[in-house]
C-alpha cells in the first residue's frame, strides 16, 4: 500500500521492520523482492540488483520443504533484466578516442567504461533468455531483447525479437473490448472489479 501511494521511504522502513519479525518471521523471499523493487525506485540500482537476485536464488530449508523454485519467476527475472539495462544506460562513456589524437590513458578509460556497459547489457540478455526458457512467448522479454540488441549493435537479433514481440504482445484494443462487453453483461462483477468498491450495508428493497 505504501509503495503504491508513493511513500517509498515509509515502505522501506516497513520492510525493515518486517524483516526483524520472528513470530512469525517474514518470508525472506518477499523481503528480498520488495527491498529490490523499493531500492530501484530510489535509484539505488546496485542494492536493487542484489535484492532481486537474492529473491530469484533463494534456497532455504523452507523453500525446499515447500517446493518453492523462485528461479522460474519470469516476472522478477524480467525486472532484474530491466534493471541491468538501466545500469548499462547509467554508465557514462567519455568521448570516443580518435586514432592518433587520443592518449593511451583516454583510450584505456573509454575501453574500461565501454566494457562495463557491455557487461551489464550481456547480463541482461542472459536473464531474458532464462525467461524465454520458461515462457518462449513472453512479450516483455522479447521487447527488452530488441532494445538491448540494438544497443549492442546486433541488428539481426534486434529485428528477430521485434517481430516476436509484435507477434506475442497483447492486443490492447481486443482486451479493452472484451472487458467492456463483460462489464455490460455482468454489471455486478464490473462494479466489484473497480479499484475502490463500495457495497451497500442493507439489502436492496424488493
Domain around 71: 8-192
CA-closest candidate to residue 146, choices 121, 170, 171? 121
The predicted-structure confidence for 141-182, as pLDDT tens digits, reads as follows 999 999 999 999 999 999 999 999 999 998 767 666 767 777
Q: Say if 3 falls within a structural domain.
A: no
The Cα–Cα gap between 70 and 55 comes to 7
CATH of the domain at 27: 1.25.40.10
Query: How far from chain centre, in Å, is Cα 149?
Result: 18
pTM for the whole structure = 0.79
Within-domain flag for 140: yes
Mean pLDDT for 46-62 is: 94
Q: For 58-105, what is each residue's pLDDT tens digit?
A: 999 999 999 999 999 999 999 999 999 999 999 998 888 876 677 888
78 or 186, greater pLDDT: 78
Model confidence pLDDT, tens digit, residues 59-68 = 999 999 999 9
Asked if the structure places residue 169 within a domain, the reply is yes
Q: For the chain, how many structural domains are there in total?
A: 1
Asked whether residue 97 is assigned to any structural domain, the reply reads yes
What pLDDT is recorded for position 12? 67
Q: Is residue 180 part of a domain?
A: yes
> Is residue 20 predicted with pLDDT exceeding 90?
no
Amino acid at each position: 500500500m505504501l509503495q503504491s501511494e508513493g511513500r517509498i521511504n515509509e515502505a522501506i522502513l516497513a520492510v525493515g521492520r518486517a524483516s526483524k519479525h520472528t513470530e512469525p518471521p517474514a518470508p525472506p523471499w518477499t523481503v528480498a523482492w520488495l527491498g529490490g523493487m523499493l531500492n530501484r525506485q530510489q535509484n539505488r540500482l546496485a542494492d536493487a540488483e542484489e535484492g532481486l537476485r537474492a529473491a530469484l536464488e533463494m534456497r532455504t530449508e523452507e523453500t525446499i520443504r515447500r517446493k518453492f523454485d523462485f528461479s522460474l519467476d519470469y516476472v522478477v527475472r524480467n525486472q532484474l533484466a530491466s534493471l541491468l539495462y538501466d545500469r548499462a544506460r547509467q554508465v557514462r562513456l567519455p568521448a570516443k578516442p580518435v586514432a592518433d589524437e587520443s592518449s593511451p590513458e583516454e583510450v584505456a578509460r573509454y575501453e574500461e567504461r565501454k566494457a562495463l556497459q557491455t557487461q551489464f547489457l550481456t547480463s541482461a540478455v542472459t536473464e531474458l533468455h532464462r525467461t524465454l526458457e520458461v515462457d518462449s512467448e513472453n512479450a516483455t522479454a522479447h521487447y527488452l531483447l530488441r532494445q538491448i540488441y540494438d544497443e549492442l549493435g546486433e541488428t539481426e537479433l534486434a529485428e528477430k525479437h521485434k517481430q516476436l514481440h509484435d507477434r506475442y504482445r497483447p492486443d490492447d484494443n481486443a482486451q479493452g473490448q472484451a472487458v467492456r462487453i463483460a462489464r455490460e453483461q455482468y454489471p455486478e462483477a464490473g462494479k466489484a472489479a473497480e479499484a475502490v468498491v463500495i457495497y451497500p450495508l442493507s439489502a436492496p428493497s424488493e
